[in-house]
């Protein structure tokens, strides 16, 4: 007898094929019927759910998250699971929480707080940090999570484990490279899905030094990618400086060679689209074309929605990446305020933010278009919800000076929302073209990171809603394919991403008339009393993982049926040749 029957829904099976009316039968955590469920298959204990008028799809797969720590205190990986995500991939950008030498927890926590915007108090209070090996880390999560989760082995942790503090001081010797390679092999044998690294200049540790991965030689990176390719069911993920704007020629060559030597796909995050810089997409895709020539496969992740990201001058955020800004801001707040009050410093910051060297971060320097969020001083009463340009015009002052005067009055705590400049019709046409390009993959939410600054997790429901009731740039069946079977194929996830008989029963049921996302809201629900941005899901009637409902009518059930995905066992080998 079946455990669960979803009766009479509009099935979108993840292949890109046309929707059809069908029943879904589930038994033992697997889909056993896609079609018509006979009465003989329904017993007294079968849960029969009428989903007529609803759409039924495979569970969504998020290929780029940082839920590595959050899953300890939040096994639902919220808000992703409420938005239909049933599988998450963590350990990205070279950052994982294992292997971890005893006594290194404080260093790792401070690094993650800096590079991934995880509140330090949450990291300190959310778990006991008592593991050492990657196997021990996975064992702590196995059997206790609501979603399926797989983790890459991050280069920074590997390097620190072998080299100690010298990992952020120099290149590794040949002997040390062999030791790092051996530790990577141990991680993969324990279940790591592959290897991730970063050379991005935006990644610094809690002490302000380049993170460990940035000190690696080309020889070291090649050796670790080669090692990854010697294990079944593995993949690669990497970040280089040009990911944020445009690749240099040597970065294109490097990414292509790393993929080719491993004979594994390499994905990177994130390819942004802006019609004002129409040459960026073809330039970034040159890495994919070069990889194909060398026998590799390089895949950029790209988001199908605009993700709002707030900032403030009091904590590390995107504006620090403007040229020259970190030198001014990397001091205690009182001294920072003093510097930002100086007219000469203001002039320098403004000039540098508008210069060609600002690259892609130039978009952060449209100061008049910042929307004022929460304020904290009487001097700023009534400014919330207004743009800097409006306030400057009212005061008769320069926009940049107006912005700095506002944030200084709040002791730099003012919440600022940059308004997107790339909402034009041509940018959206270019995005839709990229979504269906076989060289690219939808993803890049960064869910679990930058918790009080952005909320990318709802991209799934927002994307589906836009295809059903918004711009309608893609048919809904194609949108579903791009966030289910497409990422499953890239990572080689066995029996996931499709509604077919024999597949794991990861299923979402949603109302096509209401599916979507609420606005991002700041809530204080993290360990240590810290805050994060989250968003409710609309129209998501049911989220099922391995045959068990984890979300019903938008509320978590408390069930933890998720699988801790291990390479080789839960992933098939995806080669590039």
Tokens of 150: 């797989």
Tokens of 556: 């978590």
Q: CA 145, CA 136: separation in Å to the nearest integer?
A: 16
Helices 399-409 and 333-341: crossing angle, nearest 10°?
150
- Domains in the chain and their CATH numbers? 61-270+279-308+440-459 (3.20.20.140), 318-418 (no CATH)
Tokens of 422: 């790339």
Show Cβ contacts of residue 232 under 8 Å, excluding neighbours closer than 6 positions. Answer: 567, 568, 571, 572, 573
Q: Please tell me the predicted confidence (pLDDT) of residue 140.
A: 97
Q: CA 467, CA 475: separation in Å to the nearest integer?
A: 6
Show Cβ contacts of residue 514 under 8 Å, excluding neighbours closer than 6 positions. Answer: 538, 539
Q: Please tell me the predicted confidence (pLDDT) of residue 216.
A: 98
- Mean pLDDT confidence for 113-133: 96
Q: Please tell me the predicted confidence (pLDDT) of residue 320.
A: 87
- Mean pLDDT confidence for 147-165: 98
Taking a C-beta distance cutoff of 8 angstroms, is the pair 213, 94 a contact?
Answer: yes
- Mean pLDDT confidence for 334-353: 96
For residue 360, pLDDT beyond 80 = no
Q: CA 44, CA 1: separation in Å to the nearest integer?
A: 9
Ramachandran region, residue 475 (left: φ > 0; alpha: ψ -120 to 50; beta: rest) = beta
- Mean pLDDT confidence for 88-98: 98
Taking a C-beta distance cutoff of 8 angstroms, is the pair 87, 62 a contact?
Answer: yes
Helices (H), 116-217: 120-126, 134-141, 155-163, 174-190
Q: Please tell me the predicted confidence (pLDDT) of residue 385.
A: 94
**Cis bond upstream, residue 79 (ω within 30):** yes
Task: Give the residue, 560 or 208, on which the prediction is more confident.
Answer: 560
- Per-residue confidence at 364, pLDDT binned at 50, 70, 90? confident
- Mean pLDDT confidence for 29-53: 97
- Evaluate if pTM is beyond 0.85: yes
What is the chain's mean pLDDT, rounded? Answer: 96
Q: Residue 330 has what DSSP assignment?
A: S
Share of the chain above pLDDT 70, in %: 100
- Mean pLDDT confidence for 534-540: 97
Show Cβ contacts of residue 329 under 8 Å, excluding neighbours closer than 6 positions. Answer: 313, 319, 320, 336
For residue 461, pLDDT beyond 90 = yes
> Which tens digits make up the pLDDT trace of 259-314?
999 999 999 999 999 998 999 999 999 999 999 999 999 999 999 999 988 888 99
Helices (H), 354-417: 388-395, 399-409
Share of the chain above pLDDT 90, in %: 92
Taking a C-beta distance cutoff of 8 angstroms, is the pair 570, 188 a contact?
Answer: no
In DSSP terms, 235 is beta-bridged to 194
Helices (H), 295-442: 325-329, 333-341, 343-353, 388-395, 399-409, 425-435
- Per-residue confidence at 382, pLDDT binned at 50, 70, 90? very high
Rounded-to-10 torsion of CA 159, 162, 163, 168:
20
Q: CA 324, CA 284: separation in Å to the nearest integer?
A: 26
Q: CA 509, CA 492: separation in Å to the nearest integer?
A: 24
For residue 433, pLDDT beyond 80 = yes
Q: Please tell me the predicted confidence (pLDDT) of residue 362.
A: 81
Q: Please tell me the predicted confidence (pLDDT) of residue 310.
A: 87
Q: Mean pLDDT check: name the lowest of 76-80, 310-314, 362-366, 464-468.
A: 362-366
């Amino acid at each position: 007898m079946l455990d669960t029957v979803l009766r009479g829904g509009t099935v979108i099976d993840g292949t890109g094929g046309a929707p059809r009316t069908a029943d879904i039968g589930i038994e033992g955590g697997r889909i056993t019927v896609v079609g018509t469920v006979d009465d003989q298959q329904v017993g007294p204990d079968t849960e029969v759910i009428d989903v007529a008028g609803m759409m039924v799809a495979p569970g969504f797969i998020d290929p780029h998250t940082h839920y590595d720590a959050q899953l300890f205190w939040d096994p639902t990986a919220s808000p992703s699971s409420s938005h239909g995500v049933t599988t998450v991939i963590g350990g990205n950008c070279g950052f994982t929480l294992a292997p971890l030498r005893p006594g290194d927890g404080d260093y790792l926590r401070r690094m993650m707080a800096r590079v991934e915007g995880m509140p330090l108090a949450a990291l300190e209070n959310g778990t006991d940090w008592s593991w050492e090996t990657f196997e021990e880390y996975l064992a702590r999560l196995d059997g206790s999570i609501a979603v399926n989760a797989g983790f890459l082995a991050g280069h920074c942790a590997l390097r620190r484990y072998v080299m100690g503090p010298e990992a952020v001081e120099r290149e590794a010797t040949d002997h040390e490279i062999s030791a790092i390679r051996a530790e990577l092999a141990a991680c993969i044998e324990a279940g790591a899905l592959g290897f991730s690294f970063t050379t991005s200049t935006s990644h610094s540790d809690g002490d302000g030094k380049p993170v460990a991965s940035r000190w690696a030689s080309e020889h070291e990176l090649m050796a670790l990618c080669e090692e990854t390719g010697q294990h079944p069911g593995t993949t690669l993920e990497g970040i280089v400086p040009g990911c944020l704007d445009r690749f240099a020629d040597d970065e294109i060559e490097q990414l292509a060679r790393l993929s080719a030597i491993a004979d594994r796909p390499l994905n990177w995050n994130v390819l942004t689209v802006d019609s004002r810089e129409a040459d960026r997409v073809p330039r970034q895709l040159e890495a994919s074309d070069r990889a194909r020539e060398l026998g590799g496969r390089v895949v950029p992740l790209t988001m199908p929605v605009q993700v709002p990201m707030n900032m403030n001058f009091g904590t590390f955020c995107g504006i620090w990446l403007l040229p020259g800004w970190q030198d001014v801001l990397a001091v205690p707040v009182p001294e920072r305020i003093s510097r930002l009050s100086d007219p000469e410093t203001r002039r320098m910051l403004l000039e540098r933010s508008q210069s060609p060297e600002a690259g892609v971060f130039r978009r952060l320097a449209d100061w008049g278009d910042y929307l004022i969020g929460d304020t904290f001083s009487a001097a700023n009463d009534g400014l919330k919800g207004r743009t800097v340009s409006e306030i400057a015009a009212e005061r008769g002052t320069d926009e940049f000076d107006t912005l700095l005067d506002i944030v200084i009055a709040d002791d730099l705590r003012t919440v600022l929302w940059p308004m997107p400049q790339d909402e034009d019709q041509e940018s959206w046409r270019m995005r839709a073209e990229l979504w269906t390009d076989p060289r690219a993959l939808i993803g890049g939410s960064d869910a679990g990171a930058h918790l009080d600054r952005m909320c990318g997790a709802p991209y799934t429901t927002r994307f589906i809603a836009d295809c059903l009731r918004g711009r309608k740039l893609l048919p809904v069946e194609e949108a579903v394919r791009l966030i289910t079977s497409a990422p499953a194929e890239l990572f080689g996830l066995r029996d996931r991403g499709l509604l077919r008989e024999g597949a794991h029963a990861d299923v979402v049921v949603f109302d096509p008339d209401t599916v979507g996302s609420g606005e991002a809201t700041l809530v204080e629900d993290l360990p240590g009393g810290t805050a994060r941005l989250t968003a409710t899901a609309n129209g998501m009637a049911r989220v099922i993982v391995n045959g068990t409902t984890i979300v019903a009518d938008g509320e978590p059930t408390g069930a933890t049926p998720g699988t801790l995905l291990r390479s080789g066992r839960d992933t098939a080998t995806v080669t590039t040749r």
